[in-house]
Amino acid sequence: MSGLKSRRYFFALCLLATTAANASETVSPWPGGAEAAVILTYDDALDSHLDVAVPQLAQFNLPGTFYLSGARPSIRLRLEDWRKAAAAGHELGNHTLYHPCSKSAPGRDWVKPWHDLDRYSLEQFIDELQTTNSLLTAIDGEQQRSFAYPCGDMNAGGADVVAAIKPLVVAARFFSADGLHRVDDPDYFRLEAYDGAGKSAQDLIAVVEAARANNNLVGFMFHGVGGDYLSVSAEAHQALLKHLSMYPERYWVSTVRDAVAHLESAQ
């Protein structure tokens, strides 16, 4: 091999090696160089959030995001408990006042006719979000918070709500099969979350492990925790939290509000 040819060959090898290294090591955008960010979210202001999820989060010193609907009984009966949860570092997110959902979708017989999102107007939906923001500010004093679409529905009276809610909340969460949101996806109004209902500890841990590959933001949506409905067992939930707290170099656990603020500041 001539000198020039061998130099070219060496250069090509170096290029290949560099490309391979880049493909396997994307740069972490998360604090501390964590491999993935994790958002733990809890919908519908359930008693088991206050009785089981909040104490378990405290046990491992992890923050959660609780999506409250203003008309839920726990808002009037346990308001001080929600205030304490916010003071402990949890986000109180907006989940509307009345939890309107599209009654025409499959399996929605339970939706009351006067809470049928198909019969809302877009203006009515936005009014309800604004009022819920005011209610939550009265509880926690915060001016910014994220939103979770009730039932994952993004239409009110046939009108798309996504653009209209952007002035009112910093991000919005729905749910998907894998719960993964790519860090290069700047749409914070379609943050994904994995539905934890009925899942085992192994199922939940597999989801966070899968998020490490591409420095993804991975979300969990829980309803009941060791009680109430659409529940995950207290044991499976606790096992997930234990796994997250055991590996801080892998996982940065954050509220939705803080995760989005971090991504926006990094841009």
Binding site for Zn ion (CB under 5 A): 43-44, 150
Specify the residue for token string 């841990």: 205
Of the pair 98, 251, the CB lying nearest Zn ion is at 98
Q: How many CA atoms lie within 13 A of 74 on its CB side?
A: 18
Instruction: Assess contact for 91 and 65: CB atoms under 8 A.
Output: yes
Distance CA 151, CA 95 (A): 10
The least CB distance from residue 186 to Zn ion, in Å, is 26
The least CB distance from residue 53 to Zn ion, in Å, is 15
Of the pair 44, 91, the CB lying nearest Zn ion is at 44
Of the pair 30, 175, the CB lying nearest Zn ion is at 175
Q: Which two tokens stand for residue 10?
A: 């060496």
The least CB distance from residue 221 to Zn ion, in Å, is 9
Helices 79-87, 122-140: axis angle to 10 degrees equals: 70
CB atoms within 10 A of CB 23: 8
Encode 129-160 in three state secondary structure: HHHHHHHHHHHHCCCCCCEECHHHCCEECCEE
The least CB distance from residue 234 to Zn ion, in Å, is 20
The residue number with the shortest CB distance to Zn ion is 43
The least CB distance from residue 80 to Zn ion, in Å, is 23
Of the pair 43, 192, the CB lying nearest Zn ion is at 43
Of the pair 63, 100, the CB lying nearest Zn ion is at 100
The least CB distance from residue 252 to Zn ion, in Å, is 26
Of the pair 78, 115, the CB lying nearest Zn ion is at 115
Distance CA 43, CA 64 (A): 11
Instruction: Assess contact for 82 and 139: CB atoms under 8 A.
Output: yes
